[in-house]
Amino acid sequence: MLGLLSGRGEELKLRTVVIDAGHGGKDAGAVSKDKKTYEKTFTLSIATLLAEKIKAEYPDVKVIQTRTTDKFVELRDRPAIANKANGQLFISIHINSAYSTSPNGYSVHILGQSSNKNRDLFAYNMDVVKRENSVILLEDDYSTKYQGFDPSDEQSYIFMSLMQNAHLEQSLLVASIISEKLKGGPIKADRGIWQNPFYVLWKTAMPSVLVELGFISNSNDLSLLKQESNRKDLAQRLFEAFKEYKTVYDSSLEIHKEDAAPAQETAPAATPAAVQPTPVVQEAKPAETAAVRYGTQIFASSRNIDPSDPMFMGYQPVVINIGSLNKYIIGIFESEEEARKANTIIKVKYPGSFMVKLSPDGVTRFK
């Protein structure tokens, strides 16, 4: 394992970032009071500027944009694009709105449940969440595509809480850095970091944040956002946040021989693979001496997550530690064929999961 970590240090660094310009096409997003200015225009402008800055300074980083023109992108396709690209960071850019013209400022959001139902803020949070998720209703046959998820029904958000810990710590780190970098910028009021059940954050298999850069319903914020110099300033601040997070992310993976744990401590344990509460595919026990096994990695996190956590849905994960990250792998078999059968079931529950190969050399993605 040590040789693998040392030799693949560069490969393990943050190499893919996905920038999501909210709304687009027939989905205008929030609209100004005079009906002349659309959220979709501002988000594309800032997202494009941010992408250009990252590409210019980090030519080795792959920058994926969910849209580069004024086109409609289905809500489910945004995280799908990020997951397919094996993104390591997802930044969704939005502009806020409210019925009142007084709210202003920026906020950063990570996946989680909205505030206490006994507080007035809960209703406001859910209004924002429902508005951002309501784009689903513009899609054809949305009830089938989203398997009954109703963006107007609070009960649809309950399951999201089961997955909120997967990348919580890293997402919070990104959010904290972004919030700090936005201070002193053109949009003055800091509305803080919130946890909300946004669909795009729920379905992305990586650290993810959604940024609301001002209120289109507030005349002062709107006036500032209309100025290209201010949009460039906001993009620069997001870029500075990306730079800082990448530095932290990359440095956390720097493993020196004297600090590395012995290979036997980081090698995957020869533990029986988990069985679903009501298994569709019977999972076999991997051979104790098997040199190569196959499984499905459902996510990676810097957190040590209890194997009994509901997010594992009855599976008993094998945890592989690489630097500061823990890779959580389920559905492990000695047979590639059996692992693939299990993978088809696992991917339904964990859309961002992918197959991996476990060998004496470490854990590698397997197609």
SS3 354: strand
Q: For residues 260 and 2, is the Cβ–Cβ distance under 8 A? A: yes
Q: What pLDDT sits at residue 10?
A: 60
Looking at residue 238, its amino acid is L
| Measured distance CA(35)–CA(108) in Å, rounded | 26
What does the radius of gyration of the chain's CA atoms come to, in whole angstroms? Answer: 21
The sign of the torsion formed by the CA atoms of 356, 357, 363, 367 equals negative
Question: Mean pLDDT throughout 332-348?
Answer: 89
Measured CA to CA, the distance from residue 17 to residue 152 in angstroms comes to: 30
Q: What is the pLDDT of residue 9?
A: 52
The CB-based long-range contact list for 145-154 (8 Å cut-off, 24+ gap) reads 145/74, 145/76, 146/76, 149/199, 151/199, 154/126
What does DSSP say about strands 106-111 and 190-196: parallel, antiparallel, or unpaired? parallel
Categorize the per-residue pLDDT at 146 as very low, low, confident or very high, splitting at 50, 70 and 90. very low
pLDDT in tens, 31-50: 999 999 999 999 999 999 99
Is residue 162's pLDDT more than 70?
no
* Cβ partners under 8 Å of residue 60, min gap 6: 15
Spell out where the chain has E strands: 16-21, 62-65, 89-96, 106-111, 190-196, 208-215, 293-301, 318-322, 325-333, 354-359, 362-365
The whole-angstrom separation of Cα 160 and Cα 137 is 19
Strands 89-96 and 16-21: parallel
Give the confidence band of 312 by pLDDT, cuts at 50, 70, 90.
confident
pTM for the structure as a whole: 0.63
pLDDT at residue 291, rounded to an integer: 81
Higher-confidence residue of 340 and 287: namely 340
CA 267-273-274 angle, 5° bins? 130
322 vs 295, higher pLDDT = 295
Distances (CA, A) of 244 to 247, 249, 250: 5, 9, 10
Cβ pair 207, 214 in contact under 8 A:
no
Which residue segments constitute the domains of the chain, with CATH numbers given? 2-252 (3.40.630.40), 263-365 (3.30.70.1070)
CB 84 within 8 A of CB 69: no
Q: Residue 169's beta-bridge partner residues?
A: none
173 pLDDT more than 80:
yes
Q: Provide the 10 A C-beta neighbour count for residue 95.
A: 29
- CA 210 centroid distance within chain: 9
Give me the pLDDT at residue 254, please. 54
- Between CA 140 and CA 147, with CA 146 as vertex, the angle to 5 degrees is 120
First to last CA, the chain: 21
Q: Examine the pLDDT at 101 and tell me if it is beyond 50.
A: yes
CB of 335 within 8 A of CB of 294?
Answer: yes
pLDDT of residue 301: 67
Closest CA to 20 of 190, 199, 183, 177: 199
What confidence tier does 205 reach under pLDDT thresholds 50, 70, 90?
confident
Q: Taking 90 as the threshold, does the pLDDT of residue 320 lie above it? A: no
Most confident of 183-187, 308-312, 328-332: 183-187
Q: What is the pLDDT of residue 198?
A: 79
pLDDT at site 324: 63
Task: Report pLDDT digits (tens) over 188-198.
Answer: 999 988 877 77
Return the higher-pLDDT residue of 137 and 312: 312
The three-class DSSP label of residue 260 is coil
Which structure tokens are listed for 46?
């800032």
Segment 9-26 mean pLDDT = 87
Structure tokens at 357: 């190969």
DSSP 184: T
Least confident of 57-66, 89-98, 155-164: 155-164
Residue 70 has pLDDT above 90, yes or no: yes
